Amino acid sequence: MEDASKKLDNAAIENLRCYLRIPSVHPSIDYEPCLKFLKLQAEEIGLIFNVYIPVKNKPHAVLTWTGKQPELGTIILNSHMDVVPVFEDHWRHKPFDADVDENGDIYARGIQDTKTLGIQYLEAIRRLKQSGYQPKRTVHVTFVAEEETGGLEGMKLFVETPEFRKLNAAFALDEGMVSENNTAKAFYGEKRGWKFEVHCTGEMGHGSLLLDNTAGEKVEYLLNKFYKFRNAEKILLNEMQNWDNVTTVNLTMIKGGVQANVIPPEFTIVIDSRVPVEKFVAFESQVNQWCKEAGTAITIVSLVKDDEAPNTLMNETNIFWTAFKAAIDSLNIPLETHIHVGNTDGRYLRAVGVPTIGFSPIMNTKIRAHDNDEYVNENEFLNEHGIDLEILPSVCKRKDLLKELIPQIGKRHDFEKKVSEWMLDKEISEMTTVSNTNLSGITDITDEDINTTEDQLWLKHNVEPWDIVIQKWNTTFCARHSFFNKCTVDEFLKEWPILNDLRAEILINLDFEKLFPEAQLNFHLFWDTFFEIVHSRRGRDLKEPHVLDLMTGIREIEGDKVAAELVLLNYLVPPTGKVKAGNKLWKFSTLESIEGIIVHVKEPGSIHAAIKNKIDGAYEKGRTIQPYILVVGPSLTDIKTNYIIVDKVKYQFTSSGKAFDTLFKLFHVFNAEYPVQSLHIYTLIQKGVYKLNLKEDKIIPTIMDLLV
């Protein structure tokens, strides 16, 4: 048995290396050698071989394993034949020799993206057939063309053909990404790619002049905006440690210029962006706004603008996901679910209603796709370590992934769900992506549904592993906010004790992004400009020496200024309101307005007394204490520690800016009211920084001129 298994292993490696030696590399690809190789594999394994050619010279091979009940919806196992260009001088091994080094690493272009995946499918089926197994559902192994050029003449056209519809696809596995650790990753959706040119035209003339309205000045303005946005996204990535909700923006080309001493009439910049689906409209609007601000004679030309494709549901309503997850769980392999950072053919499958999961069984491997020295180790390919998901039967003693997966899927009932049931819930999606969100509109979730969800119960009793906390927090969003309308903030914290964890800021940010995706990064983008505008319009009213000194002080430091700016904002826009407090009218002072937002103590030993003073003051006026920032440091321009105080919970932050951004979001995530004495400041920041206009907003005349 071991000899037979070893022979199969050796044959599998040799098949992989033969496939890798075919230079199906852009820009000019001859797919014929790939088709000949795949036809030979089909004949050896006993699969039906067909070729479909939607576009001349761009064929798709389909190798079919007929199931016991071929009338059922079928399974597609997809990979692509084409690979990206190489710069051979930068490779240690020739990119199409498929050399194996002394460590068992196989080097070749396409070994990670995605030729290995296609061979793993075939080798798994080879062993399953040899064992006598036949699936209930038919399986199609597809090898497609032109994925690396965006699939526009590949899968995008193929899924629209009668030939594809005849495949009767019910579920698909497509490419994922190799994992650098021992955790598998499943991808249920993708960002929308948008590659576009911005053409800037302006005055031209001699290089010795200082002309106005030049193309270069417009480009400078736009690049400053793009890179400020990009830096804000990097901050978000560092905070979340997760690419799913991050927009990537990169300058990839600059075109223009005619001669060294001539100011050119036009420059063109090319931007490559990958945007989470729910953020795309806001991002496109922002780019258009930047172009308007940069001046006249600026046009945007889209090079590639992906259509929106629905995400694949990852819950019990998707019988194929349930089967896939059960197979992974049976192997005791940790699994994370993500939005894919790049674009794959999976988006075209999802767009026509085929639930698709992107997945790579290769783990413990440095990501080198599209890079020099792309490699996969033989043992990871064959999984001799027993860590990787087992694609090849009989390599290890435990069950193989596809051997486990395909029978489970095959035993499931027929695929009878409507396409809409495999899509994201559009009502919830729309409800949570507009600035006028009203959570009371989520009425289709019953108390029983909310109170008995396994994820909610899990969150009540667990704080680790954190990646599972994140996953379950996201899946319980609607339950959480439906519940919220029936309770106080204190009750809400008791119902969701995970918010007592010191990492809860991440959870708050996740919920806020679901509520207002277009506003998630606005503090980082607009705070500085906002403060300068307010100061320029109201700064002449500052009279108090200590306030003027503070204003001078923040201009002399380069570090975190937000604590001082929050205090100054209350002097620039002092309170004018009053409310009833007991039997008296409470007319707010500037100090009370400040302390509704931020409390400053000079040393840690004063924290307890400051919190007690807040409690006593609120009790005296018959008010509740709303969340606030507490900062510790010798002065407002030298802050050492930052906290948010909410009820009995104290969150710590590395900067006052990060603390306030989270505090603002917390009010909306908790559906809490702004402190009444600071309502005018919070409303000003809400509208001026976060760009949120809510139907429950109160009109405050004293701030209206600042919002024009």
Residue ranges of the binding site for Zn(2+):
80, 113, 148, 175, 370
Burial class (CB in 10 A: 0-12, 13-18, 19+), 452: exposed
Closest CA to 348 of 90, 146, 634: 146
Burial class (CB in 10 A: 0-12, 13-18, 19+), 54: buried
Q: What count of other Cβ atoms lies within 10 Å of the Cβ of residue 110? A: 29
Amino acid at position 544, single letter:
E
Task: Report d(CA 309, CA 330) in Å as an integer.
Answer: 31
Amino acid at position 589, single letter:
S
Q: Give the DSSP letter of residue 345.
A: T
Those residues with Cβ within 8 angstroms of residue 599's Cβ, 6 or more apart along the chain or in another chain:
610, 614, 628, 629, 630, 631
Q: What count of other Cβ atoms lies within 10 Å of the Cβ of residue 18? A: 15
Distances (CA, A) of 397 to 2, 335, 456, 472, 505: 11, 21, 36, 33, 44
Closest CA to 134 of 65, 191, 223: 65
Handedness of CA 413, 414, 420, 424 (dihedral sign): positive
By the 8 A CB rule, do 74 and 168 touch?
Answer: yes
* Chain position carrying tokens 């035993």: 411
Task: Report d(CA 406, CA 186) in Å as an integer.
Answer: 17
According to DSSP, the residues that pair with 107 across neighbouring strands are 99, 375
| Active site residue ranges | 82, 147
Query: How far is CA 288 from its chain centroid?
Result: 22
What is the widest separation between alpha-carbon atoms in the chain?
92
